[in-house]
Structure 1
Amino acid sequence: MISRLSPRPQLRVHADADAMTRAAADAFVATAQAALAAHGRFGVALAGGGTPKPLYELLAAAPYRDRLDWSRVEVFFGDERCVPPDSPRSNYRMAHEALLSKVPLPPANVHRLRGEDEPALAALAGEQDLRHAFRRDWPRFDLVLLGIGDNGHTASLFPGCACLRERERAVCAQYVESQHEWRLTLTLPVLDAAAAVWLLADGAGKADVLAQVLDGPWQPDVLPMQYVAPAQGEYVWWLDRAAAARLSDA
């Protein structure tokens, strides 16, 4: 099972993906409203992939769209492929089409990772942007959204990658051999410093890897999701029944 050093996530299991998405949208708005009331802004790191897209589309539509003061929302990205922003593989493009272009969000409040630039320079620029936006040496997001791959990776923290060892930098660039491409990613200390970390997963195809991460042996270099340990923040897995089917306490 997960190491005692890693908090066990709260499991919020819903009947199907639609119910999960709607519950996550309600919680997203409530989390954002609480952050705005507490300190006047809401800093969120978005996830890529297919699972969060319905969430973004729901947030972009009434009534959710109208429940937030988007002028005080700051959007970042948990990771990015090193591709231009108009590439079909770009996490930014997906989020822009599903959400960012459909809400009154000032362009200056969107902080994308520049996948079209040289990777090391893009990582450095992303880190400088984070520090400037948060006005502190180490960023503390109000919310980080994550997905999980079939191999246990999250963000662009892949099994055995050097970025899993990074403790000084907030953004890391690496060539991912299994994907045959360069990636940019937030590092584990940034994820763990967040006030809330949410994993979104649905479908039977995620059941095996989720069970391995939560109930299997402690092998985080093989299953990087096991490294995520927001000990001082909220840690929630949003799942549908199919994804949670093999979890011991679902």
Structure 2
Amino acid sequence: MSTQPTSAEVVHPGASRIEVYADAQAASRASAESFARHAVEAVRSRGRFSVALSGGSAPEQSYQMLGDEPFRSMIPWEGVHLFWGDDRCVTPGHPRSNFRMANAAFITRVPIPPRNVHRMPGELPPREGAARYAAELEAFFGPGVPRFDLVHLGIGPDGHTASLFPFDDLLRDAERTVGWSLHRPLGEWRLTLTVPVLNTARRVEMLALGAGKASIVRSALEGPIDPYRIPAQLVRPAGEMVWILDRGAAKELTGG
């Protein structure tokens, strides 16, 4: 089976590549195909594939596909290392845990070694959890800013990505690799990778699905540059930047 994305329409070529798919299922499959393709390439060329997973509802269908054939068999799981871009400060079994979602969607269904699953320790106090995860990143990547092969992101209705929220001081942090932030509407603490980590990645994929995301996608891509109001605009990786959208999320884009 080909691992190339299917039925994509590319619009607004430039610094960001934007791929528009007919529906959420097609966009989710494109994301799963990309994961598989880059995992095979990275393990073949570098011996391992490092990916930071996202949470929320958007990636769940894509992650479920990773546990199904043909992806389950084609991905070299022994060389895949799973990290997270952010997570809630909750226990790993909590219903709002990003780890729990991915674990149920595909991790328990594929032959990945348990030592290759690097979850964020959300059950710890935020400062301690961030420090513990930063140390785990350094142990895996070495000192300095870690360079992921692939980072999965989503965009919230307020323009946040990972758990980097509008006007948060963490947006300006150039020192830490892992920080903690407060999601004020829910009074919920979260752990998150910082902007320098996201922007060092070889490839970043921003997945947005549904008409409910159309307005913020348009603002992020075509609106004024205002990254402290729309943190997703801060994501400008050294490598590739790809937006994976369904037609609902793309409907307000010029030519979308």
- Aligning the two structures, in what range does the TM-score lie when normalised by the shorter sequence? over 0.9
After superposition, residues 192-203 of structure 1 pair within 5 angstroms as 192-203=199-210
Counterpart among 66, 88, 101 of residue 95 in structure 2: 88
Q: Residues 190-221 of structure 1: CA distance to partner in whole angstroms, max 9, x if unpaired?
A: 00000000000111000000001111111111
C-alpha distance 136-35 of structure 1, shift in aligned 2 (>3 A): farther
- Displacement, 1:10? 0.3
**Structure 1 regions of 5+ residues with no counterpart?**
1-6
Question: RMSD of the alignment, in Å?
Answer: 1.1
Per the alignment, residue 4 of structure 1 pairs with none
Per the alignment, residue 150 of structure 2 pairs with 143
Structure 1 residue identity aligned to 2:134: E
In 2, distance between residues paired with 1:152 and 1:60?
30
In 2, distance between residues paired with 1:57 and 1:188?
28
Pairing 1:244–2:250 present: yes
Q: Residues 42-83 of structure 1: CA distance to partner in whole angstroms, max 9, x if unpaired?
A: 000000000100000001111101001101100000001011
Pairing 1:33–2:35 present: no
Q: Is the 8 A contact 2:164 2:181 kept in 1?
A: no
In 2, distance between residues paired with 1:138 and 1:205?
34
Q: Residues 100-142 of structure 1: CA distance to partner in whole angstroms, max 9, x if unpaired?
A: 1111111111111111101101000000000101134221000
TM-score normalised to structure 1 length: 0.95
Count of aligned positions = 243
C-alpha distance 194-249 of structure 1, shift in aligned 2 (>3 A): farther
Q: Residues 146-190 of structure 1: CA distance to partner in whole angstroms, max 9, x if unpaired?
A: 011000000000011121011111000122323311110000000
In 1, distance between residues paired with 2:235 and 2:254?
19
Pairing 1:234–2:244 present: no
Higher relative contact order (CA 8 A, sep 6+): 1
Regions of 4+ moved over 3 Å: none
Structure 2 residue identity aligned to 1:142: D
Q: Is the 8 A contact 1:161 1:176 kept in 2?
A: no
Counterpart among 53, 62, 68 of residue 55 in structure 1: 62
